[in-house]
Amino acid sequence: MVQDPIAIVILAAGKGTRMESDLPKVLHPLGQVPMLAHAVATAEALDPARIVVVTGYGADTVAAALEDISPVAVTAEQAEQLGTAHAVLTAAPALDGFAGKVVVLYGDTPFIRPETVERMLATGADVTVLGFEADDPGRYGRLILQGELLDRIVEARDATDEERAVTLCNSGVIAADGALLLDLLATVDNRNAAEEYYLTDIVAIARQRGLTARAVICPEAETLGVNSASDLARAETVFQDLKRTEMIEAGVRMPAPETVHLAQDTFIGRDAVVEPYVVFAPGVTVESGARIRSFSHLEGCHVSAGATVGPYARLRPGAELAEYVHIGNFVEVKNAEIAPGAKVNHLSYIGDASVGEATNIGAGTITCNYDGVFKHRTEIGARAFIGSNTMLVAPVKVGDEALTASGSVITEDVPAGGLAVARGRQVNKPGLARKLMARLRALKAGKA
């Protein structure tokens, strides 16, 4: 890890016109979190002294989202977008009193790795730029080298034919001493085709002062930027491939990995099995040896070792499954703790509840937790047996080793070891069914 103090400035002011959306570009989801969260995660992995996010379009919306993404990042608003150099200068007040190196990242460039930034900080140069060899350099700025040193960066629209032939391109990521960076930025002008203040101009200015500039090279895929909906779709594919590969290499079993959809923070332990067509929303931890069966959806939940979920199950936020729990097909669990060895195997809803060890929940069971205003809890003890099609009207408690009869509507607590029967008594009327059906058919014939 980098020892010298560093600060990270993340540029996130752009509207993203090509996204064809009112949502600020950096808030479009990637890995089921705002794209900005990926840049922030890279920053946080470097243990920086400060993280400053430069906002612009939708500044209030971005700032509100950032509160959920990072407890330490602060914002600086670029009220008028005049270029990348101007954007970094906007962050200067938030860097007041900081002494160390500053790294400039981008909210729409989500795949820059912390290890790559660390290589940049280790060059010893006054200014370091991250570059890549482009298959199609077209619109990218070119890194013009002079021997082993970086001489200047030329934007594509300002480049000569000779400069356009260069395939070493600029990612936009830059590292420099903080005081030097702000001093260089103060001298940048906007005499270029776009009439913008380019951050990249600081390289030529530094060289004119006799300072050193170097380029660090990374794979082109790491620098993938998102400027349109099609770019975002491509980035999602890249993210999913990277995340799946990471998990498979860590020992997760995925028979059809291309069908599994993961979130940025999904954690799955080794020897866990994830069957085809499973979706992980944010906040999911699956421990070693668990099995997530096909067509299940998990969000904000914890699945312990040896548990089985699905197929066609839904775990919502607050679902806590202990070891060797069975959650079966078409079962939904929300804000509920399921103790070791308990089973909820068929067509049930368990919400705002606790289920004791080795308890069996019969098919069609519902914890009736919502009265239209408030949520109420259901507590079910250990080794209880809840009969099929039981309605548990919360707040209610079912004791250890208690039993409810199928079809019961339980509105009162059931003591430990007790049997609760709460349904209307069956009454048979001999011959009445034939008479009733004959009359109905006659009515129907008359209307015809």
Residue with tokens 């860590």, as numbered in its chain: 250
Q: Output phi, psi for 23, to 5 deg.
A: -75, 135
Round to whole Å and give the CA distance between 146 and 150: 6
Round to whole Å and give the CA distance between 448 and 444: 6
Q: Output phi, psi for 241, to 5 deg.
A: -60, -45
Round to whole Å and give the CA distance between 380 and 360: 10
Q: Output phi, psi for 380, to 5 deg.
A: -120, 130
82: exposed, middle or buried (C-beta count within 10 Å: 0-12, 13-18, 19+)? middle
Of 28, 261, 346, 376, which one is the catalytic site residue? 346
Round to whole Å and give the CA distance between 235 and 36: 13
Question: Is-cis flag, bond preceding 24, omega within 30?
Answer: no
CA 421 to chain centre: 46
How far is residue 139 from each of residues 134, 218, 286, measured CA to CA in Å?
10, 18, 43
CB neighbour list of residue 346: distance below 8 Å, 6 or more residues apart: 328, 329, 330, 331, 362, 363, 364
Round to whole Å and give the CA distance between 396 and 12: 50
397 membership: H or E segment, kind and range: strand 396-398
Tokens at 383, concatenated: 């080794």
For residue 99, give the amino acid letter: A
Q: Are 265 and 282 in contact (CB under 8 A)?
A: yes
Is 297 labeled as catalytic in the residue annotation?
A: no
E strands in 107-248: 127-133, 142-146, 149-154, 168-177, 213-217
Q: With b meaning 16 or more CB within 10 Å and e meaning fewer, what string describes 142-174?
A: bbbbeeeebebbbbbeebeeeeeebebbbbbbb
Tokens at 76, concatenated: 């600086």
Tokens at 101, concatenated: 């190196």
Where in the sequence numbering do the catalytic residues fall? 346
